[in-house]
Amino acid sequence: MKRIVNLKGSGGNIWEVFEVLDGVRRTIFRDTVFGYLMDVPRLQRDELLFHKMFLHQIRPDPVLSSDGIKRLYFRVGNTKMVYRPEEFCLIIGFNFGEYPKIIGKKVSEKLVTSKKRCLLCERLFPDHTNSLVKIGDLKRLILNRTFLEVDDVDAVRVCLIYILCEGFSGKEINDRVPQDWFFFAENLDLWNSFAWGSYLWDFTYVDLEDTWNKINYYLSLPERR
């Protein structure tokens, strides 16, 4: 029997973005905090690698250590390995630091949108209200011929948002784009200085912890005993 493993946030689709960035746009993107990704070799067939990694995940008690830092634990053979923010930082290479915990969430959208208009969103998606732009809308814009007519800096901005949502956050095409990211992308200095490392670590930890819970639940089912 053939089995298929689906991985939401493999990041494989972000190379489609790089293929449509050339000339000035490529230079502008390379100068952003996500620019180093253009030099990262394209990953293929990473679904089984992640699946096998999760099968070695363990949950010591307590998960939250005395210093308040959440960590992920794995056991391979007799070796116990710890995955901490430090390792995540070395891999991803983004800034770590404090950031508003409501960022990217609906409660943040209510606070922001009540105060100002999102001009970037209005320029890129004039037929959408701010709250109705989806990941699929970003992708269709990037891969459409009309993308060539978009201002070069705005083109890079929409690519940054797409890579964040589809590549790093593992969002699907029908998921909404948090309005915060449009406001952030409007100011590339703000985008580049944001603590993406801390934000993505918190996001990734929750997702990976949830994966452990699902696997543990599956293994605890009566028919699995």
Q: Residues 6 or more apart from 7 whose CB is under 8 A from it?
A: 46, 47, 50, 51
Q: 24 pLDDT exceeds 50? A: yes
Predicted pLDDT at 12 = 63
Q: Residues 6 or more apart from 81 whose CB is under 8 A from it?
A: 73, 74, 75
Highest average pLDDT, of 24-38, 90-104, 126-140, 198-212, comes from: 24-38
Average pLDDT of the chain is 79
- Are the C-beta atoms of 153 and 191 separated by less than 8 Å? no
Residue that wins the pLDDT comparison between 91 and 116: 91
Highest average pLDDT, of 117-126, 150-159, 171-180, comes from: 150-159
Nearest to 175 by CA among 187, 167, 183, 165: 165
Predicted pLDDT at 67 = 65
Task: Report CA 67 to chain centroid distance, whole Å.
Answer: 26
Highest average pLDDT, of 144-148, 150-154, 165-169, 202-206, comes from: 150-154
Fill in the amino acid letter for 211: T
Highest average pLDDT, of 48-57, 76-85, 181-190, 206-215, comes from: 181-190
Give 46-68 pLDDT, tens digit per residue: 667 767 777 777 765 545 566 66
Let me know the angle formed at the C-alpha of 85 by 84 and 88, rounded to the nearest 5 degrees.
95
Predicted pLDDT at 32 = 95
- Are the C-beta atoms of 164 and 203 separated by less than 8 Å? no
Predicted pLDDT at 97 = 85
d(CA 163, CA 166): 5
Among 36-45, 55-64, 148-157, 176-185, the minimum mean pLDDT is found in: 55-64
